[in-house]
Structure 1
């Protein structure tokens, strides 16, 4: 079993931590603007990639809001967190700055092939890491992975692109604080 160093600060993802990331079924993303609400979102499915020790990406799928993309439009700060729910305890945080690529950006076509095709794929978030921090996670409970939820995939497949665009217009154009998300710019 791999041993992780707890409570350590690093400037990049080590090979051991990259393996840990690849094994995780869920991660959490936090963003905030200078004022307004802080957003913290759980993410799952096969949507996260480590491109290099200092660069990661994830495919952001349709949700009931669009806080992450909106916040990053105004402040590019981001934190991604992984927790070990099985095996040795570990909390891993990736701190950095991010760019958002929508399907109308040239970068979308460059990076979309890194991920499975999901109906309702909304943005690709590209993160440059400036700090990697591990901490103990000894109070994080053990939890058993039972499988992926299929509800989002089924919902998006059933809706189709035209109705997903309508949903984005209704639910994803502004943040909770009323700022534009940039989804249709």
Structure 2
């Protein structure tokens, strides 16, 4: 059994920021709905907003499951796993909210992140459980480099192309839940 933390302290925030990849998981309320797990990264893309609050910029590039699930029920889990010599997994469980341009939470997170042309929303999570586990089954891997394909694709599509993609692919989830309004 792992450790349960009282809050995200400086040491834990530093460890999170050092991870090259992390995951976000959400699910709809419907029993036959699809659970969604999405990769994110690096850990430095996550803003620690307080001892029980985190946020990140959500980019155009795939579906809208995280946004749709959060709007329906707010449940979310973020998972960070160490792929270096020291095994460790950290999970942040909480309630998430979607912030759009013009919202105070959007501005708070966006101010802490480098500008990205693909940003469509900001996700803010109020964390109610922080825990770690051994991670002994996670392989040791080497990071070759981070990809910059989202930025390159967004620049190629331009603001109008991104708006068109969001209108086509981000208005509803795969389970038919409301996503982004266009």
State the partner residue of 1:163.
161
Aligned to 2:51: 53
* Whole-angstrom CA distance in 1 between matches of 2:53 and 2:107: 18
Task: Judge conservation of contact 1:96–1:127 (CA < 8 Å) in 2.
Answer: yes
Q: Write the deviation string for residues 69-88 of structure 1: whole angstroms up to 9, x where unpaired.
A: 00000011100000000031
Where structure 1 has 5 or more consecutive residues not aligned to the other structure, the ranges are: 1-5
Contact 2:95/2:127 (8 A) holds in 1: yes
Do the aligned partners of residues 41 and 56 (structure 1) sit closer, same or farther apart at CA in structure 2, a change above 3 Å counting? same
Q: State the shift of 1:111 in Å.
A: 3.0
Partner of 2:28: 33
Give the Å deviation of 1:27.
0.7
* Contact 2:54/2:124 (<8 A) preserved: yes
* Equivalent position SS for 1:179: coil
- Cα–Cα, structure 1 residues 136 and 73, in superposed 2: closer, same or farther, change >3 Å? same
CA offsets per residue over residues 13-64 of structure 1, 9 Å max, x none?
A: 2322111101011110001121111110001255211122211111111122
Give distance in 1, aligned partners of 2:55 and 2:70.
14
The DSSP-based 3-state class of the residue aligned with 1:103 is coil
Deviation at 1:104, TM superposition (A): 4.6
Deviation at 1:182, TM superposition (A): 3.0
Helix, strand or coil at the partner of 2:77: strand
| TM-score of the two chains, using structure 1 as the length reference | 0.91
Q: Partners of 1:181 and 1:126 in 2: how far apart? A: 16
Distance 1:183 1:165 in 2: 11
Of residues 70, 85, 92, the one that matches 2:68 is 70
2:166·2:180 contact (CA, 8 Å) conserved in 1?
no
The alignment status of 1:121 with 2:116, answered yes or no, reads no
Residue 9 of structure 1 pairs with residue 4 of structure 2: yes
1:24 equivalenced with 2:19 (yes/no): yes
Deviation at 1:106, TM superposition (A): 4.3
Out of 14, 38, 41, the position equivalent to 1:44 is 41
* Match of residue 109 from structure 2: 111
Gaps of 5+ in 2: none
Match of 1:174 in 2: 172
Check the 8 A contact 1:11/1:130 in 2, yes or no. no
Report the TM-score when normalising by structure 2.
0.93
* Aligned structure 1 segments of 4 or more residues deviating by more than 4 angstroms: none
